[in-house]
Structure 1
Amino acid sequence: MTSQTPAKFRRIAGDFRTRILSGELRAGDEVPSERALATQYDVSRPTATKALALLRTEGFLTSVQGSGTFVADLNVSRRPRDRYARAKRAGRIYSGNERAEIVAAEVVEHPPSHVARGLALPESTAAIRRRRITWDGEERTEVSTSWFSAELAAPAPRLLSTERIRAGTVAYVEEQTGRTAEYARDRMTARAAGDQDARDLGLKDSSTPVLLVEHTVYDEADFPIEFAEAIYPPGRFTAEQRYSLS
């Protein structure tokens, strides 16, 4: 079976989908008119119309008669891949009203066994632990803990500071070490929040179900740079995948 080039309107929709999910375009932002979009992408106006119609059908856009077309309020947290896209486009990993509070940055002499496995560390090897709470406005949307080999403490000392790293920790490690992040793997499970995560997320009940995403970033030698655990409260995470049924 030969692969087919995506229709122009789908490519336009895909571009805006990526910009919305990465946080570059936020809820309430106005998108170009059909006429402006046709000029920007050098396509016919009906093609631009189909692109906007597809995004409205998917729930990414909403139209207000007499006012224009705007980004819908998705009310979701950004996936790691979306934040990386944002960092590459804008040089910072958070956008809009998002901000992160670093609540721990330390060397742990004996990290949990699953962390050591995730970082491919020998037993009884120290690791850097960096824990943060992410806010969107006044709402806590994510609690995450990033783990790194303690060997990075010397070349990347800011990992042990509670100061935010605007471009993201992986970009900082790349800059300081020359290693290149090639790909990442995400594993998703659900569990009860537990006492610590419930406190950090502002949940009243520690038995509230939350989503756990284990996120591992690998370098060009297929060796882990970062192993992270992110906890999301109910209703604050989305993962979408588009695929052919033909």
Structure 2
Amino acid sequence: MPENDEVLPKYLRISGHIRDRIERGELAPGDEVPSERDLASQWRVARPTAAKALNTLRQQGIVESRRGSGTYVARRPRGPVADEHAPRYGSAYAEDASVTVLEAAVVTAPDHVAEVLGLPRGTAVLMRKRLTGNESQATEVATSWFAGTLAELAPRLLRTERLTDGTLRYLESVTDHRVSHLRDRVAARLATADERRHLALGRPAAVLVHQLTLHTADGAVLQLDEVVHPPAKWMFQQEYSTSS
């Protein structure tokens, strides 16, 4: 997949990732979100950048701060969809969002997945595919990939039920793995037949793909997420002055 890491400012990528976790149920209302210090360490950015990411979510009503405690998912988040002028990155949080696990299985890794996970071609991997949407439309198809060796250690990955505590929290609870940093890429391509079917797209249709890798301290990739969005789902807006 072509790299396009500079498509948005880093703070928007961080806030977008947190919104995605909230939408998928990995962070529920009342859950604490990563601190400025943790975000700065995971994303390898300065503290002010991490603070700006959290402030973006705070202004959109998605998170709230508690003095002397931390930052938490709002009990009744408004969501950025309420503010048409807010910058968007990833899935915009929506109160009526629903998530369905379409498939959870051991499959032969596609070549690009094997490469990212550092596995030989043709290796068996775990795959979880989810469809997110609301009452009117499907908004994204997300596929998570894991090394096949996790099948015995993390059997819930093979069940078609939501991991309400979040995939990462579950993995860290049943293994010795700890994520030290994240890396994301954004690219556009034509939708596959499966993606067109789930997202109700015509043929041909362009989609935006957000690829996120979760790395352990030794550099290994614990999880690869690929989130596919239909046209016009993502929006990035800036205004520039033409005066000298």
- 2:215 pairs with 1:218: yes
Using the TM superposition, give the Cα deviation of residue 194 of structure 1 relative to its aligned residue in structure 2, in angstroms.
2.6
Gaps of 5+ in 1: 26-36, 42-59, 62-70, 83-93, 242-246
Match of 2:140, SS state, is strand
Aligned in 2, Cα 1:196/1:117: closer, same or farther, shift over 3 Å? same
Q: Of 224, 235, 243, which residue of structure 2 is paired with 1:227?
A: 224
Map of 1:176 onto structure 2 = 174
Task: Quote the residue 2:115 is aligned against.
Answer: 117
Structure 2: stretches of 5+ with no match in the other structure: 1-46, 68-79, 239-244
Query: 1:240 Cα deviation (Å)?
Result: 8.4
Matches within 5 A, 1:41-120: 72-73=83-84, 79=90, 96-108=95-107, 110-120=108-118
Amino acid at match of 2:189: R
The corresponding residue for 1:157 is 155
Distance 2:165 2:206 in 1: 31
Q: Structure 1, residues 153-181: CA drift from partner, whole Å, max 9, x if none? A: 11111100000011321221112113111
**Structure 1 length-normalised TM:** 0.62
Which whole-Å CA distance do the structure 1 matches of 2:228 and 2:145 have between them? 15
Report matched runs for 1:139-158 at 5 Å: 139-158=137-156
Deviation for aligned residue 1:231: 0.6
Give the aligned partner of residue 76 of structure 2: none
Identity of aligned residues (%): 31
- Aligned CA-pair RMSD: 3.4
> AA paired with 1:196?
D
2:197 is aligned with 1:199: yes
Amino acid paired to 1:99: S
Higher relative contact order (CA 8 A, sep 6+): 2
Distance change (3 Å), C-alpha of 1:121 and 1:240: farther
How far is 1:137 from its partner?
Answer: 4.0
Counterpart CA distance in 1 for 2:179 and 2:85 is 29
Aligned ranges for residues 8-27 of structure 1 at < 5 Å? 15-19=54-58, 23-24=62-63
Q: What do the CA deviations read for 1:88-123 (whole angstroms, capped 9, x no partner)?
A: xxxxxx862222110010001x21111101111123
SS of 1:101's partner is: strand
Question: How many residue pairs get matched?
Answer: 178
Amino acid at match of 1:167: D
